[in-house]
A and B are shown apart, each in its own frame.
Chain A
Amino acid sequence: MDFDLTEEQQMTQKMVRDFAQSVIAPRAEEIDTSAAFPEDVFDELGKLGLMGIPFPEKYGGAGGDTITYTLAVEEIGRVCGSTGLSYAAAVSLGASPIFYFGTEQQKEKYLTPLAAGKKLGSFGLTEPDAGSDAGGTSTTAKLSGDSYIINGEKCFITNASYASTIIVTAVTGKDKKGKNIISAFIVPANTPGVTITSNYQKLGVRGSNTAAIVLEDVEIPADHLLGDPEKGFKQFLYTLDGGRISIAALSLGIAQASLDKALDYAKQRKQFGKLISSFQAIQFKLADMAMEIELARGMVRKAAWLKDHNRSFAKEAAFAKLFASETATRAANQAIQILGGYGYMQEYQVERYLRDAKLMEIGEGTSEIQRLVIARQLGC
């Protein structure tokens, strides 16, 4: 048993922290208010090799592990939820499925530019009528000669407006029991028939790009099918399990930022002639925040460790995502309470943390879905 991070993990953590604090943090407020995707920040993340942490060097990655990746997500999330979300989605959802399930050729052609940070990937699963019930996908892909013709609509897709490739799930047929067979496809974003629009006005993570995709007779070569044609559903469940670890790490970053801000404020703010950090009412809030954050961190690390050791991690990833996201919302909410009137003001940032944190309880599986995943793992 060893709770210490390795030297590489510590170095990565420090490097990302330094970069996030000096380059992203000064931009966070503007990224939120203007709701503009910070493309230049992603260029920098790419140059630092952060877009390819968990992928092997031969595909343009850094050959790091999941733990290292979660450290990076946490540090970015600590300064900017929007950047953190787009980062986590690009790596865990845009690139990882190609790494997990792609052929050698697909990896070379499509994973390499993503891992090297030259292009951005996106993952189109959710549909207007298929959210938590992803099995209810109605987008279809029909084989016609050497091509698939895809028709349908996707919504709430992170990074799609800036993506070079979108992994799209679609129904390709029915099995013997009459259930839909879902497959995944690598769709280059510039394929004719792909229309991407980004008109959402969001509560939080406003600088993270979110788009709707319409696919109209989109023709892609048959070899763009990703992984096993029969197991698209299982594949995206596995992808989401991995993604959950990163959303948990991102939540952890937001929660940590909330505690940092609240603690800092409590140690400076005087009321009734005393620092408010000397009042038990404030101390108890801070103590709860610190405790929950550390518990969440333990779970994130364990889930990542299990994944790195090729062990099953679905339950732990759900634990981590559920607990860390709810911790983030509570911590941000309490931070606002501790800062009082100031906390409600944009200038003090904690109101942004709360708006950003709320998404963590919804994206990549709502808290309710996490509980279902856990219950299923318990054998219910």
Chain B
Amino acid sequence: MNIYVLLKRTFDTEEKINIQQGKIDEDGAEFIINPYDEYAVEEAINQRDQHGGEVTVVTIGEEDSEKQLRTALAMGADKAVLINTEDDLEAGDQFTTARILEAYFEGKQPDLILAGNVAIDEASGQVGPRLAERLGMPYVTTITNLEIKGESADIERDVEGDVEKVQTSLPLLVTCQQGLNEPRYPSLPGIMKAKKKPLEELELDDLDLDEDDVEPKTKTIEVFLPPEKAAGRVLEGEVNDQVKELVSLLKTEAKVL
């Protein structure tokens, strides 16, 4: 099987994030493989081990993204592709990403494309479905189980805590949800081998794309941190009075009623 994984390098949202001049300060940030994409890498490796074939991990990013690709190779992926837009693009959005990936997949014959359900940085969850749409293949999001038999795929997907069972056919794009698998740690031999595995670097030119072709459809107006969580308040007095006070606070202060 020809298996591809769409991988994004993101900052670690569990570390402290600083914003400087409307941008996330990258100097102090820790960068990781988007955790949902780790499920995708793990699933790709498992499917390959079961059905044979090859796993190619693709990312769009900068030189620094090589580290996350190498980690995926260390986990067991066979090949990696870095589409480096550092010199070509000032900004990009989900359209940009989907369009570049569409160009990348031109002439390729993927049987299975796996992506994360969302990226933890911008959490749009759009790239997978948009790419599938562009490539004209079925897609299933938030999957928690995948069984492939020949050309058909039995899938379980998470729908707000319930399970939906879907049957579909290859070629197929899926986005991976927590619960699908337990991503492995890259082993030491894996890490040592990763350097020898092929990592191809492409630019927009190589995909016959101009900057204009991938110009984002959206603009980022502002980036800000969520407001600091204030200390909770404990109401006092008779229960009836507390309820009245609570309702009035919800109206006047929280403005949710």
Contacts and interface: CB of A to CB of B under 8 A. Distances in A.
A57 B190 CA distance: 12
A7 B192 CA distance: 10
A8 interface: yes
A11 interface: yes
A8 B191 contact: yes
Secondary structure class of chain A's binding surface, majority of residues: helix
A36 B144 CA distance: 37
B239 interface: no
Given A11-B74, A48-B185, A63 B192 contact: yes
A11 B70 contact: yes
Interface string B188-208: 111110110000000000000
Q: Which of A11, A49, A57 has the most CB of B within 10 A?
A: A11
B185 A12 contact: no
Contacts of A81: none
Nearest to A63: B192
A47 interface: yes
A97 B67 CA distance: 34
Interface in A165-220: none
B186 interface: yes
Contacts of B66: 7
Secondary structure class of chain B's binding surface, majority of residues: helix
Q: Which of B67, B188, B190, B194 has the most CB of A within 10 A?
A: B188
B156 to A, nearest CB: 26
Interface string A2-22: 000001101110110011000
A91 B189 CA distance: 16
Interface in A35-70: 47-50, 52-53, 57, 62-64
A53 B74 CA distance: 15
Contacts of A53: 188
B189 A62 contact: yes
A15 B66 CA distance: 16
B195 A12 contact: no
Interface residues of B, number: 15
A52 B192 CA distance: 12
Given A7-B67, A10-B67, A15 B192 contact: no
Nearest to A18: B185
Contacts of B71: 11, 14
B18 interface: no
A7 B188 contact: no
Contacts of A8: 191-192, 194-195
B195 A7 contact: yes
Nearest to A72: B188
Contact of A49 (B67, B70, B189, B195): B189
Nearest to A45: B188
A63 B192 CA distance: 7
Contacts of B74: 11, 15
A7 B189 contact: no
Nearest to B71: A11
A216 to B, nearest CB: 39
B185 A15 contact: yes
Contacts of B187: 47-49
B185 A57 contact: no
A62 B70 contact: no
B191 A12 contact: yes
Nearest to A50: B188
Q: Which of B187, B191, B192, B194 has the most CB of A within 10 A?
A: B191
Contacts of B192: 8, 57, 62-64
B30 to A, nearest CB: 9
B185 A19 contact: yes
Interface in A111-162: none
Nearest to B70: A7
Nearest to A6: B195
Contacts of B194: 8, 11
Contacts of A12: 188, 191
Nearest to A11: B191
A11 B189 contact: no
Contacts of B186: 11, 15
A7 B186 CA distance: 13
A24 to B, nearest CB: 12
17 contacts: A7-B66, A7-B195, A8-B192, A11-B67, A11-B74, A11-B191, A11-B194, A14-B71, A15-B74, A15-B191, A19-B185, A48-B185, A49-B190, A53-B188, A57-B189, A57-B192, A62-B191
Interface of A: 7-8, 10-12, 14-15, 18-19, 47-50, 52-53, 57, 62-64
Nearest 9 A/B pairs, CB to CB: A49-B188, A62-B188, A49-B187, A11-B191, A49-B189, A48-B187, A15-B185, A62-B189, A15-B186
Given A7-B66, A49-B190, A57-B189, 8 more contacts: A11-B67, A11-B186, A14-B71, A15-B191, A18-B185, A57-B192, A62-B191, A64-B192
